[in-house]
């Protein structure tokens, strides 16, 4: 009986080690995928910042055009 238990223990330990190895591989894969997602998120944030800067520049241009139009209307006495 004791001999059977001694033979079973190494088999169980081998199975546990195999399961642990598989979990470690899966964890490495998940870490890599999370890193890719974080990189993609950073890229999206950069693009949004560029869009915000472009929007601000366009708004400034529109404000300048509006000021010029107001001055033109005053000179032509079109403003009421």
Average pLDDT, the chain: 92
Could you report the per-residue pLDDT of 45-72, keeping only the tens digit for each?
999 999 999 999 999 999 999 999 999 9
Instruction: State the distance between the two ends of the chain, measured CA to CA, in whole angstroms.
Output: 108
Output 12 or 41, whichever has higher pLDDT.
Answer: 41
Band of the pLDDT at 8, cuts 50, 70, 90?
confident
Q: Are 79 and 70 in contact (CB under 8 A)?
A: yes
pTM over 0.75: no
């Amino acid at each position: 009986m004791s001999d059977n238990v001694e033979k079973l223990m190494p088999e169980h330990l081998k199975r546990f080690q195999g399961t642990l190895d598989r979990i470690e591989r899966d964890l490495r894969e998940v870490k890599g995928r999370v890193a890719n997602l974080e990189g993609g998120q950073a890229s999206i944030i950069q693009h949004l910042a560029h869009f915000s800067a472009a929007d601000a520049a366009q708004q400034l241009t529109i404000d300048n055009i509006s000021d010029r139009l107001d001055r033109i209307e005053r000179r032509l006495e079109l403003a009421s």
